[in-house]
A and B are shown apart, each in its own frame.
Chain A
């Protein structure tokens, strides 16, 4: 009997010690693609977050506690993202950073909403990440530091019409991706709205390799510009195939093009193409970050994810400070009312109506194959 009591007491002490220890730590979940097609950004994002977290913890953490990341690989897959979200919930995280992709974020949002844990996605630009498409209401626990696709699509269309002088536009997009489908729609609306004509809107399926059938149709209609809202892999293949069948139109892309290997993959075919991006290595606001990252890892960060992920972490830390607690509901309320906080990419104010940042700038970059860089062309703060 005595032995059992002793055992129970020991167990009780152990549990108490464990929880006392845990109480000194705030757990923040990080769902990120460490493997798979988006791993390049994911790895860079994880490094940038660890770099910033170290600084935060060294200067005393937040609410007198240290922050710890619980990080899982979502493999850039919607099903896996849901599994990761469930695991994070059972791990007892107070908030989640990520995912980076719209499709994965839309899949993750309901799980975290049910658990009443706020999520701050990094670069998911689809409007329905923070707005529930069925009800049209804002998702109370979803936030983001990046601009959204209607803005991005409008910026692209306006640039095509006013700066490139385009009148006829064509669109080639991935029908299996939320990101591509919606951007195609926003671009079409904005382009038509500003007096242009969309002569062709052609789709392909995810993982398809050959777009020459679609491009052949586009070629016949002779557009001035072809809008390709895909990641760098599809953009590179589309560019090569377009040039192969003799298309000379200007190619225009979106923030998913912005990977350093776009130039290697697309070669001469992608030269001179333009795309919208969230940040630019030459952006004066992020020079300190770029220098710090380079000093730590010996290479440039793979933008824009590392910057956006740092913004997300800063948002959570600031919200924890104002809320004064780790309670999910209070934290979400604090996140929704963040105003004028200093983040890595500049200054950030969240709109309580849709949980998106107000006036987040977009940059236009041009692919320069000879110098292996993306040239800064233009910065848009608003498109009115």
Chain B
């Protein structure tokens, strides 16, 4: 049972991490919690679902389409709801309120247009189960976990090894200075949202396949937010570690203590971190984040 619990925990944690990355990216640059991220994940899932059911696309194309779709939606979201606030140098609290508004707006938009019913993705891979020492895990979960690790690693390399990545890191340190040095801030922020959106697209498809697609599915991101806080808001390795830790802790609490107390533990963890270690495990200090 221990091993089964650990495997399940890691598999849940992988998806948390994937979602937490989107929070952390935006937080590191604009210094606010983008609560609309969950809605972008939800829309990404709907984009993938439309491609899979209406156009009968295979898994690869569905994932690519969802990544592109959610990326564009995230950029549009920034352009429409945040950029004017940003230009007027509004405090980050205003951005956060705007983000919450966006989340509710997008959710209700889906209610009004697509409706409230539940959808499931077609079964891309059948139900294959891998057994390790008597503990089972579906092949899809293993695949999703590895994919999440590679994607996060890829993003990490992108930010540390490329010119654009350097610009993003510079922006994290000092936006004004960065723009004085000739970096186009609007473009830079658009890229950050595009990346966060792309991760939202991946998370949306995985969530949709694993669970179901419906308007309020984005709310599961409050767990991703906890994961981001545990890891240190703004830190990518932190988002990964935070996601995995949260997934494993939750599953162990559910299995060995009580499944009903699971969220009590999760949110206690959030409060504890905010009180005693607001920078999380890996957020070194607020000067250097990504």
Contacts and interface: CB of A to CB of B under 8 A. Distances in A.
A243 B8 contact: no
Nearest to A75: B116
B1 A265 contact: no
Interface stretch (B76-84, B124-132, B154-162): B124-132
Contacts of B118: 37, 233, 261, 265
Nearest to A245: B136
A213 B137 contact: no
Given A39-B116, A216-B4, A245-B8, A237 B211 contact: yes
A202 B5 CA distance: 15
Interface residues on chain A, size class: 35 or more
Contact of A212 (B122, B251, B260): B251
B212 A265 contact: yes
B255 A264 contact: no
Contact of B1 (A212, A220, A236): A220
Nearest to B8: A212
A205 B5 contact: no
Interface string A24-56: 000000000001110110000000000000000
B244 interface: no
A243 B111 CA distance: 31
Contacts, number: 99
Contact of B120 (A35, A212, A243, A267): A267
B289 to A, nearest CB: 30
Nearest to B121: A267
B212 A245 contact: no
B6 to A, nearest CB: 10
Contacts of A62: none
Interface string B113-151: 001111110110011010100011110110000000000
Given A212-B251, A214-B254, A261-B118, A202 B259 contact: yes
Nearest to B130: A246
A264 B120 contact: yes
Contacts of A219: 4, 136
B92 to A, nearest CB: 29
A268 interface: yes
B127 A244 contact: yes
B8 A236 contact: no
A217 interface: yes
A376 to B, nearest CB: 25
Nearest to B217: A209
Given A203-B259, A205-B263, A246-B131, A39 B117 contact: yes
A207 B117 CA distance: 14
Nearest to A210: B12
A82 interface: no
B107 interface: no
Nearest to A264: B120
B177 interface: no
A244 B138 contact: yes
Nearest to A204: B259
Nearest to A232: B118
Interface string A233-248: 1001100100111100
Contacts of A202: 259
B116 A35 contact: yes
User: Among B1, B8, B129, B131, which residue has the most Cβ atoms of chain A within 10 A?
Assistant: B8
Contacts of B122: 267
Contacts of B4: 216, 219-220, 245
B136 A244 contact: yes
B220 interface: yes
A175 interface: yes
Contacts of B141: 244
A149 B111 CA distance: 32
Contacts of B259: 202-205, 213-214
A216 B260 contact: no
Contacts of A175: 260
B111 A268 contact: no
Given A212-B8, A212-B12, A265-B212, A203 B131 contact: no
A129 interface: no
Contact of B116 (A37, A212, A246, A266): A37
B8 A216 contact: yes
A208 B127 CA distance: 22
Contact of A269 (B115, B127, B254): B127
Contacts of B252: 213
Contact of A233 (B5, B135, B138, B212): B212
A256 to B, nearest CB: 13
Contacts of B111: 35
B267 to A, nearest CB: 13
A266 B122 CA distance: 10
B89 to A, nearest CB: 38
Contacts of A209: 210-211, 220
A72 to B, nearest CB: 17
Contacts of A267: 120, 122-123
The 8 closest A-B pairs by CB, nearest first: A246-B136, A213-B254, A244-B138, A212-B8, A216-B4, A265-B120, A209-B211, A213-B251
Interface of B: 1, 4-5, 8-9, 11-12, 111, 115-120, 122-123, 126-127, 129, 131, 135-138, 140-141, 210-212, 219-220, 250-252, 254-255, 259-260, 262-263
17 contacts: A36-B116, A37-B118, A39-B115, A39-B117, A212-B8, A212-B12, A212-B251, A213-B5, A213-B251, A216-B4, A216-B255, A243-B129, A245-B8, A265-B120, A267-B120, A267-B122, A268-B126
Given A213-B252, A216-B255, 16 more contacts: A35-B116, A207-B219, A213-B251, A213-B254, A213-B262, A214-B255, A217-B1, A220-B4, A236-B120, A246-B129, A264-B119, A265-B119, A265-B120, A267-B120, A267-B122, A267-B123
